[in-house]
Each structure stands twice: as structure tokens, then as C-alpha cells.
Amino acid sequence: MSRFGFNVAVVGATGAVGEQIVSILEERSFPVKSLKLLASGRSEGKKMMFRNKEITIEKTVPDSFEGIDLAFFTAGSAVSKEFVPEAVKRNAIVIDNTSAFRMYPNVPLVVPEVNEADLKNHSGIIANPNCSTIQMVVALEPIRHHFGLSRVIVSTYQSTSGAGKRFIEEMYSQSLTVIKNKTLGKDTVYQDPDTYPIAFNVIPQIDRFVENDYTFEEMKMCQETKKIMHLPELKISATCVRIPVERGHSEAVYFEVEDTDVDAQEIKNVLSVTPGIQLIDNPEERKYPMPYFAKGKKEVFVGRIRKDLDIDRGFHMWVVADNLLKGAAWNSVQIAESLLKMRLLPKKSSK
């Protein structure tokens, strides 16, 4: 590692997102002076590689953040609520991947392509949005900028990796059981005893239901979009569905613009030159985004752009992204790179 750089910690380093963050920090040559990998006691003592050196996983405790400049949190809301204040108290800047602090008024919720300037207002904590929210707002922001935006209705098709490593394994295990036995036992469950098999199935529930019969995941998408885009009056609703795909979230997005004279080609033209977006939209040749091709890629893929048949200002599009990259790890590292570019990180140390 270089003598110059920042002391960085990754909490939840052995999880799907934590592993990706470590990999991207190395790939992007982020100025890391030292890297501390933290997890629960179950992973303590395991090893991970970073820049050709073996690093031992440590158990997360408050003193883990002594001397840390930048901490990435990926281990779940309960862990973040317990340890983020400890990291901030020790002068670390935190980029938190959980929902723990996203809607706090003094915590910026950031997608760099959309609201990078909000980073100037952080007080030690920066929240990484929900994975499905990130890819949607990346696609919607250039549309809002050029044509205005008044309404959004989104249906998501979210992969099992969004629920964590063990649910990927569960999907494959269930699938093999079905292929071998043609059925699943009644005791086969997905996520918890009150839900259903994911193999050869779709589940129209992600996270718990709230009082209005939307799920917490759906409410996160609505509330976070308004905050990120600074559109508190935006009309938005969501339906979030878990599907038997390993990696990559897909979204059918209906949106209404404010301009009265816009066609689908104009929207395509704007998206085709927007950084971070790859337009794949050629129905005649059956070219459109799919999670199969988005896996391992950092871009947000957009296609199937078409005008609504009945609503003059209404349009539809199909949005796909790797939920572990742009939906989590890559967006987090982008935030760190933005902090560096904007000189919002502590001065690099050579000690």
C-alpha cells in the first residue's frame, strides 16, 4: 500500500456488498493507506486479499474506528445504528449502505450523477440509497432536467442477491430440488417461515408491510426518490417483486413529463449522451437491457422507451443495473471519489 492515503474501514467486509467495495477500491486505485476489514464475530480471523496482501478480518467494536478516516458500512441497519455513531465520534466519515440514516434531515442521501452537491452538507454520515432507487433516479434525472417530471409509477423485479448471499444459495438449492423432485416440500421457505419458495416463483413482497399496505421497500423507493431529486411534491408509487435471478435488478418505469411536446426519440437522445447510462433500445433487433448482460457492469442500462398510448405526457422505459455494483458498492465508492474530488475528506496522511 502507498504511504500516502486514507485509513479506510469496511464494515460487513465478508458480505456480498462488502466484498465488492474492497474489490472496487483496489480496481479504482483509491488512495488507501491502510485497510481495516470488519465483520461479526463469526467471521473474525478469516482472511481477504487487498493489493496482493492478506488482511485478517476483525470483529467490529467501537474502538475499531480509532484513526479511521473513511468507513463503509454494509452489515445491516442494526449494525449501522450501533456503530456509525461510534465511527463519527472518532472523526471518521461514514458512507452507510443501510436504511438506518437515509431519511434523517441532516444526512445527505446521494447518487453522484444526480445530487453530488448535497455532499457539502454532510455532518459525518452520508447515506447510500436503496439499490432500486439508485438505478431509477440515474435514469430519471436527465429526463427531469430536460423535460420536467411530475409522476412516476415503478414495478421492480429484484434479484435474490439483494437479500444477501445465503438467499442466492437458497434459490439454487430450491431450483435443484424442483428439477430433481418436481416439487418443493411445504416446509421450504424463502427469507423467513412466513414467506414462500423463490425457485420458479415470484414474490410480490420485499421487506415488511406497513400500515398503508405498501411494503417498506416500496416506501423507501418513494421517499428516497423525492429526497434525492429534491422533488417533495413528486407523485410516485412502487410495487417491488423478488424474482429468481441471481444478480441484477430490473424495473418497468412509467413517468410523466411536464413539457407538452416531447416524443420518445427526444428522451432517447438525452439518455444516449448521459454519463453512467447505456442506452440499449432497438426493438427490431430485439435489443434491450437484461440482468444477464448487466452483471459485473457499473452502468445503468435503459431501453424499451415508448410513449404511453393514452396519456400524452406519459412514457414507459425499462431500467436494469447490477444491484451489487451501481446499486450498492460502486455507488458507495463513487461517493468516496466525489468526496475526494470536492476536497471533503481529511487531508491525506503520510505518517
Q: Which residues are identified as catalytic?
A: 131, 249
Assigned C-alpha cell, 97: 449502505
Q: How far apart are CA 206 and CA 132, in angstroms?
A: 12
CA-based nearest residue to 10, from 28, 35, 27: 35
Which contiguous run of DSSP H or E holds residue 302?
strand 300-307
Q: Count Cβ neighbours within 10 Å for each residue of 256-282 and write b for 16 or more, e otherwise.
A: bbeeeebebebbbebbeebebbbbbbe
- Which ranges in 54-130 belong to alpha helices (H)? 77-89, 112-115
- Is beta strand 151-158 parallel, antiparallel or unpaired with respect to 249-256? antiparallel
Q: How far apart are CA 268 and CA 288, in angstroms?
A: 13
Which contiguous run of DSSP H or E holds residue 315?
strand 314-321
The residues, ordered by sequence, that sit 6+ positions from 65 with a Cβ below 8 Å of its Cβ are 9, 71, 83, 86, 87, 90, 92
Q: How far apart are CA 302 and CA 279, in angstroms?
A: 5
Q: How far apart are CA 25 and CA 329, in angstroms?
A: 10
- Is beta strand 32-39 parallel, antiparallel or unpaired with respect to 58-59? parallel
Q: How many angstroms separate the Cα of 298 from the Cα of each of 52, 94, 157, 189, 294?
A: 24, 22, 18, 32, 8
> Do residues 212 and 237 touch, judged by C-beta distance below 8 A?
no
